[in-house]
Structures are given as C-alpha cells and as structure tokens.
C-alpha cells in the first residue's frame, strides 16, 4: 500500500449519500451529473456499509448496463478499501489479503451478465444470437416473405437482419395469441420454434428467461462447496446461484439508472423488491430512448417500495470537466437554466479551477479535410506533451468511427475501439468457430443421450447451430436450407441426423450443392460420433482441430482481402485461445472442458480483460487513442475529446442529450467538429487542417499556451518541471509535416507505420 497517497476527502453532498443508513425495503435515488464523483461516492458507500457493520460484503449486489462501468467499479473497489485502510488506527487496519477477500465477495455484474448466469445455471449451454445467427435465420425465409410483409426490401444484409429482429420482436409481443397470423406469421412461428428448441435468445429474451427462473428457482444437488464461474469455491453449495440471488443480497446498487429500459424492468424488480435499492444516475444523460422509455422504468422503480421509504439526494459538484467545458455543455440541454440555477444555489458546490481555454468548435466541409484535421489535432496535442492514450475520438455512428480508424491506420497512429463486447467475440469468423464448436458439442450430446436413454430430451438443440454453420458456407442457398429443414421435421429427426444418416440419393431434388453438404458431414462426423470431444481438455489441440475443419470448408470470410484483415483475425484468434486457457485454469472437476468453455466464455473474457487492464498501466507508454461512438462512451472520461459528426455537408445535428454526453466525456480539452448546434460558440470554418496556415500562432494558439499545459499536467498529476516551449512544440510538429507530408496531400500509403515511432523519439 502507498502510504504517501493523499486521502480522498468527500464533499458534503457525497458524505450525505455515503452515510445514508441501511434499511430494508427502502429506495434511495442519487441524481449525479457528469463528473460529480458518482462512482467515487458509490465505492465509498459500499465500503461504509461493510465497515460500519450494516451488511456483509456478500450481501451487496452492484448492477450496471455496460461492461465498461462494471470494469470501472471492479478496478477501483480494492483501491478504495486500501486508501481508507491507511487512515484507520493500527489496531483496525486490515491486511491486503483481507481487503481482497472482502472485495471478492461483493457481487458485481452487468444486468445481462447476471441474467446469462441464471439462465445457464438452469438450462446449460445457451446461445445469444449474433450476426451469423441472424444471417442463418434469413436463409430460412421464403423468397416472397418481404413482399408479403409489405416491408421495403433492403438488400443490405444489416438492414435485413434489423428488419427481421423487429418483426420477431413484434410477433413475440402480440397480446392476442389467437390472432390470425397468416402465412408470414407461420414462417415467423417456425423461426421462433427453432430458436426455442436451440435455446437461442436475444438479449431481451435472456432477461425474460432469467426472470422466469427467478420466479421458480431450482434447487441444485451440489456438494457443500461448489465452483463459481471464476473457479473459486462458493460456500453454501446446497443453494443455487438463482436462489442466492433472491435470498442472500440485502442491498442492490444500480449504476447509471437513466440507461435502463422497459424490458429490463421485470428482473430488476424481482431482485430488488424488499431490499435496499440504491440508484445512481442523471436523466440528462438518458440517450438510449430507442430501446424504450426510461421514464416508465423509473416510475415503476420509484413505486417499488412505499413512498415514505423513498428518498432522493443530489451530487452537484464537478471534478471532471473544466468550468469552460461544463458551461458549454450546460447550454446544450433543454433544462439548462434550471441546471444553472440549481448549481448556483447549491450549498458547498465544488468545481475545478478555470483552465482559461474554451472548447474549440470547427466546421469542415470536405470529408478528407475533416479526417486530416483530426490527425492534425492529435499530432498537435502529442507534440505539446499529451499521450495518445489521453485522447478519445467520439462520433455518432459506427461507420464514421470506422472511417476515422482507417485514416489513423494510414498514418500508423495506434488506436483501440471501445465496444460493448470484446473484439474477439464481435469477429464473425470467431462467431463461426464458436457456432461450429457448439454444433459438435450439442450433436454429440444428443447422440449419446439417444443411445443411452433411447429417446431425445433436448428438442434438437443442435438444429440452430447446424443451420447457422451450413448457411455460412458458400454455395448452400436458401432453398436448399429450407428444404433440408422441412424434410428433417417431417421425418421427426434432427437436421444433423438427417444430413449425416439419410443417403444423399434420397434427398429432395431441390437441394443443390449436395457435395458441399456431404463434405460438411464428413469433416464433422468423426468428432460427433466419437467421445473424444468429451475427453479433450487441451485448448490448443481443440482449437487446432476446429480451425482445420473451418479451413477445409468453403467459408468466404476466411479468404482475406488484405493483410490488415488477416492480422485482425489472428489477433482475435489469439485472444480466444487465451480465454480458452483461462477457462481451463478455472474448469471445475467432472465437467467437460468444451462445455465449460462454451457456457462461460463471455464471463471468462471479462475476467481476462480486467486482469489485462491491471498489467497495462505503464506510465511511460504513449498508449493508444480511444475510438468510440457517443453511446459506447457513456460513463467514461478522457483528458482530451475530439467530438466529430462527420463532414459538415453530410452530417446532421446530434440530439441534445447525446451531444451533452459526448461533450462531458472531456476532462480538460474539447474539440468539436461539425455538430450544427445553435447554442455552441461560433465555429471556426476550415477547408484544410489547422496548421497549414502560415501563421500557426493564430490558427493553433494551444501549441504556445504553456499556462494551459501546466494546468493540463497538474490536473493529471504529472510532472510539469520540463514542459517544452512553443518553439520546441512547433519544431516537432513541422518535422512531422516534412517527414510524413501532413496537410500536403500525399498519398496515405506513404505514411504508414512511421508517425508513432517518430513521435516516441520526440518525447
């Protein structure tokens, strides 16, 4: 522990929240604006509840909607306990191992992660449908489906999958089950049956299914100690996780309550009823309206307990943004005047000192100039003493983020995308590998059970994964897949059994490319019919077998068009292998390794990610720029934010709350490009990147602003004794211009992979 660490002093408003007493069946709502110390207050609240003896660590459950928010809480909980421990009397101080044991007992989950664990415990291997799954279901639709459905036919695969998701959601939401659903309804009913049989869920399905299991929890026959998902021993092994979720916890904390939407309500109400419910959030940052009305959720949660047992407290302070940034952001939201009045009248209000640097607003018409300006700003900041890891580039759409990523790649500037799920899981090639593993596992299990029991009890769970993997192979068309599935249903056997046991000569003539289907069965049959898959526990050996099968199938996405695409897949495959090795380390006894990995790979990935974060905090590293949509950046903060809405002529205004969220991610420096908002300051109009001007002091006074960079480094608690002068900064920048042709219109292909090494040499 660091005995030189400065003690965190809570503000009066934070202290009121932290010391609010524990009482069962009560609700406390904490309204906390951006940078108000919400997470810090939540962490200290947890510590106070435990150390004051009001509740035990294993009686506290913390929930959030995103992995990033859960990461932040998990990574900072131990340090909060460590810091507080330093200021306890010698007799009351705990050892580090004791502090770790306390923190590890606290339940910290995303809502979907918790639901996933409940469902897997009750049902075994399940599938959360991803891109490959939707594509497989699309192939089962008859050719006239879209015309009958009276939907505009969008040949773009992403557009079609979105329409199919919406149709399925509408179908499942019907109130009158006797409604005449027509021919298209029959098609959708068949898709729903496939998904149900295969235990295939959308995220909303997962929440509903978990809630059903919480309504009638099973009692598992377990030993006195059982293994949890992280491979640690749980006490009270005679109770299932589902039962513990209902009976063990006394306090439920929900982070970022404004992000909740109606389909999450059933599970939250079920878990929170009768407990102390603590909710932290800010309605001004409610930007997920497309998922449903947050006001409906809040009204229900406000009424969860008796009104006299509910209270609201506020955190008004701002420790994140400079006053200049928060002032600009407050002008955006519709209740800005109310907010200013509240802030001005709040007692003991704490704000950061002025930086004397206003957010910079730009208008840039040309798409290339817009991207060049972003690069130009990055280089200016780095030449002035910032790190790449200080900078985040935010935009409204994933497409624009991808165009920025491609542009940064051309300059060799390192970056990482912030996504909801780990990159390796988002890769459709990895999804195909996982689907193939599930198909082998499930088909093998179905075969063994039919041999041992003489009957099948799983309703052909393998069918969905056979459909998904077959449909991904080039040349196996929609009609072939529809005919195969129809024929296997008529025979009353699984799709795998049909294609592997019914002679090809007896297949329907409508089925084309029979040789490719036969190759598929030939490659997979040995692993399904032997018991090797149940016995293998070497991650490298298992992955090699699956990859060999994939390469022998005619799977188009593995025909790489660029080295960059191949490198990305290789990196994701390496990540998957590491997760498999971690799963092996955490594997319980007497459980098949492949089954354990498929059940827990997402949770294992989170464990791996958190361990990785702890090992990558090298203060000497320049790090990498963060790229994110505004929605994915929720709950995060960055020293420097470049908020771009795309080329001026092609972009349209960002809605107020999204713009407010994007602006308030910035801690010290904010650059805004093409947002078209009337309440922002007058924009700088640019045709080319900023420092192409012959007068750099006029176009970029920041390079010469030593006072600001002293403020910046002080704010980040960095050394300010050797800050470079303007001449040094400018010399660095011009050297980059000359070396790599920044702003000179040179081909991007001449710029690759060199900027970062040169910048490192500067710094």
424-614: CATH number: 1.10.486
In terms of Cα–Cα distance, which of 57, 39, 52 is closest to 84?
52
pLDDT of residue 459: 66
Q: Is 166 helix (H, G, I), strand (E, B) or coil?
A: helix
Residue 377 has pLDDT above 70, yes or no: yes
Band (516; pLDDT cuts 50, 70, 90): very high
Q: How many helices (H) and strands (E) does the chain have?
A: 32, 17
**What average pLDDT does the segment 366-393 reach?**
89
In the chain, % of residues over pLDDT 70: 82
Contact by Cβ (8 Å): 50, 56: yes
In terms of Cα–Cα distance, which of 365, 390, 425, 569 is closest to 133?
425
12-116+241-317: CATH number: 3.40.50.300
Q: What is the pLDDT of residues 20-63, one digit of tens each?
A: 999 999 999 999 988 899 999 999 999 999 999 999 999 999 99
Binding-site residue numbers for ATP are: 32-39
Residue 439 has pLDDT above 70, yes or no: yes
**What average pLDDT does the segment 97-104 reach?**
90
Contact by Cβ (8 Å): 361, 25: no
Residue 589 has pLDDT above 60, yes or no: yes
Measured distance CA(551)–CA(706) in Å, rounded: 57
In terms of Cα–Cα distance, which of 199, 195, 200 is closest to 140?
195
pLDDT of residue 653: 82
Lowest mean per-residue pLDDT among 166-180, 203-217, 369-383: 166-180
pLDDT of residue 613: 58
Residue positions counted in the chain: 763
Lowest mean per-residue pLDDT among 90-99, 311-320, 630-639, 718-727: 718-727
Cα torsion 559, 564, 569, 574 to 10°: value is 140
Measured distance CA(195)–CA(202) in Å, rounded: 9
573 or 94, which is more confident: 573
Contact by Cβ (8 Å): 121, 220: yes
Band (312; pLDDT cuts 50, 70, 90): very high
pLDDT of residue 313: 95
Angle, helices 38-51 vs 67-86, to 10°: value is: 50
Band (5; pLDDT cuts 50, 70, 90): low
Structural domain boundaries in the chain: 12-116+241-317, 360-394+640-754, 424-614
Could you tell me which residues come within 8 angstroms of residue 709 by beta carbon, excluding any fewer than 6 positions away? 384, 385, 720, 723
272 is written with which tokens?
């929170």
**What average pLDDT does the segment 247-263 reach?**
93
Binding-site residue numbers are: 32-39
**What average pLDDT does the segment 490-500 reach?**
91
Band (309; pLDDT cuts 50, 70, 90): very high
**What average pLDDT does the segment 640-653 reach?**
84
- Tell me the chain's radius of gyration from C-alpha atoms: 28
- Mean pLDDT (the chain) is 82
**What average pLDDT does the segment 527-556 reach?**
89
**What average pLDDT does the segment 224-247 reach?**
59
464-500 CB burial, b ≥16 within 10 A, e <16? bbbbbbbbbbeebeeebbbbbbebbbeeebbbbbbbb
Q: Is 346 exposed, middle or buried (0-12, 13-18, 19+ CB in 10 A)?
A: middle
In the chain, % of residues over pLDDT 90: 38
pLDDT of residue 7: 67
Lowest mean per-residue pLDDT among 88-97, 408-417, 634-643, 721-730: 721-730
DSSP type of residue 66: S
Determine how many CB atoms are found less than 10 A away from the CB of residue 734. 14
Q: What is the pLDDT of residues 701-758, one digit of tens each?
A: 677 788 899 999 999 988 888 777 777 777 777 776 665 555 444 333 333 334 444 4
pLDDT of residue 734: 73
Residue 170 has pLDDT above 90, yes or no: no
pLDDT of residue 464: 92
Residue 308 has pLDDT above 80, yes or no: yes
Euclidean distance between the first and the last CA atom of the chain, given in angstroms as a whole number: 31
Residue 2 has pLDDT above 80, yes or no: no
Q: Is 551 exposed, middle or buried (0-12, 13-18, 19+ CB in 10 A)?
A: exposed
pLDDT of residue 169: 82
Lowest mean per-residue pLDDT among 81-90, 228-237, 290-299, 401-410: 228-237
Q: What is the pLDDT of residues 598-630, one digit of tens each?
A: 988 877 887 776 666 555 454 555 678 999 999
Contact by Cβ (8 Å): 651, 676: yes
Q: Where is 96: in which H helix or E strand?
A: helix 96-105
Measured distance CA(252)–CA(42) in Å, rounded: 12
Residue 669 has pLDDT above 50, yes or no: yes
370 is written with which tokens?
């817009």
693 or 635, which is more confident: 635
């Amino acid at each position: 522990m660091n005995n030189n660490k400065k003690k965190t002093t809570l503000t009066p408003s934070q202290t009121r929240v932290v010391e609010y007493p524990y009482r069962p069946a009560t609700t406390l709502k904490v309204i906390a604006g951006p940078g108000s110390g919400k997470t810090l207050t939540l962490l200290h609240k947890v510590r106070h509840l435990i150390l004051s003896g009001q509740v035990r660590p294993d009686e506290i459950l913390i929930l959030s909607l995103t992995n990033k928010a859960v990461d932040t809480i998990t990574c900072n909980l131990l340090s909060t306990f460590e810091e507080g421990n330093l200021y306890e009397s010698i007799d009351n101080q705990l050892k580090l191992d004791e502090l770790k044991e306390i923190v590890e007992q606290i339940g910290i989950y995303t809502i979907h992660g918790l639901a996933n664990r409940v469902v897997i415990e009750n049902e075994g291997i399940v599938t959360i449908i991803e891109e490959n799954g939707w594509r497989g279901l699309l192939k089962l639709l008859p050719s006239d489906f879209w015309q009958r459905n009276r939907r505009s036919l969008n040949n773009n695969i992403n557009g079609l999958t979105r329409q199919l998701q919406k149709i399925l959601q509408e179908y499942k939401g019907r109130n009158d089950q006797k409604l005449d659903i027509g021919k298209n309804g029959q098609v959708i009913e068949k898709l729903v049956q496939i998904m149900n049989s295969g235990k295939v869920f959308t995220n909303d399905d997962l929440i509903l299914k978990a809630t059903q299991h919480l309504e009638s929890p099973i009692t598992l026959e377990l030993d006195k100690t059982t293994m949890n998902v992280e491979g640690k021993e749980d006490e009270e092994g005679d109770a299932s996780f589902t039962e513990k979720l209902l009976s063990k916890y006394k306090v439920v904390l929900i982070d970022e309550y404004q992000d909740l939407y109606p389909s999450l309500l059933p599970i939250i109400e079920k878990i929170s009823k009768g407990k102390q419910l603590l909710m932290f959030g800010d309605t001004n940052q409610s930007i997920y309206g497309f998922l449903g009305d947050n006001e409906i959720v809040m009204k229900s949660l406000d009424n969860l307990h008796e009104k006299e047992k509910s209270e609201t407290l506020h955190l008004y302070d701002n420790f994140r943004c400079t006053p200049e940034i928060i002032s600009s952001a407050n002008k955006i939201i519709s209740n800005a005047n109310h907010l200013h009045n509240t802030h001005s009248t709040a007692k003991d209000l704490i704000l950061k000192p002025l930086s004397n640097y206003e957010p910079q607003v730009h208008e840039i018409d040309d798409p290339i100039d817009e991207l060049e300006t972003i690069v130009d700003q990055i280089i200016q900041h780095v030449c002035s003493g910032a790190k790449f890891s200080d900078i985040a580039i935010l935009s409204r759409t994933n497409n624009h983020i991808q165009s920025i990523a491609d542009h940064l790649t051309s300059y060799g500037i390192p970056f990482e995308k912030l996504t909801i799920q780990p990159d390796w899981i988002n890769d459709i090639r990895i999804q195909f590998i996982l689907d193939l593993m599930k198909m082998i596992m499930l088909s093998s299990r179905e075969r063994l059970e039919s041999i041992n029991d003489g009957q099948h009890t799983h309703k052909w769970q393998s069918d969905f994964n056979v459909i998904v993997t077959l449909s991904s192979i080039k040349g196996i068309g929609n009609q072939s897949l529809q005919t195969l599935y129809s024929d296997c249903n008529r025979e009353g056997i699984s799709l795998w059994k049909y294609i592997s046991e019914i002679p090809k000569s007896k297949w329907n003539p409508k089925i084309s490319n029979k040789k490719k289907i036969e190759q598929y069965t030939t490659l997979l049959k040995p692993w399904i019919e032997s018991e090797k898959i149940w016995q293998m526990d070497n991650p490298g050996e298992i992955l090699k077998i699956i990859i060999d099968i994939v390469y022998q199938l005619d799977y188009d996405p593995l025909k790489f068009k660029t080295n960059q695409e191949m490198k990305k897949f290789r990196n994701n495959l390496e990540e998957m292998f590491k997760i498999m090795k971690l799963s092996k380390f955490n594997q319980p006894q007497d459980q098949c390794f492949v089954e354990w990995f498929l059940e827990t790979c997402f949770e294992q990935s989170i464990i791996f990610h958190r361990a990785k974060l702890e090992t990558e905090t090298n203060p000497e590293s320049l790090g990498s720029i963060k790229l994110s949509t505004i929605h994915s950046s929720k709950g995060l903060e960055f020293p420097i934010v470049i908020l771009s809405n795309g080329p001026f002529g092609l972009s349209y205004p960002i809605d107020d709350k999204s713009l407010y969220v994007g602006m308030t991610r910035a801690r010290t420096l904010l650059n805004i490009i093409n947002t078209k908002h009337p309440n922002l300051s007058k924009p700088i109009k640019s045709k080319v990147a900023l420092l192409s001007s012959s007068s750099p002091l006029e176009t970029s006074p920041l390079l010469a602003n030593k006072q600001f960079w002293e403020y910046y480094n002080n704010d980040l608690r960095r050394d300010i004794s050797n800050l470079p002068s303007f001449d040094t900064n400018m010399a660095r920048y011009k050297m980059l211009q000359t070396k790599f042709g920044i702003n000179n219109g040179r081909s991007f292909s001449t710029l690759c992979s060199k900027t970062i090494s040169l910048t490192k040499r500067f710094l």
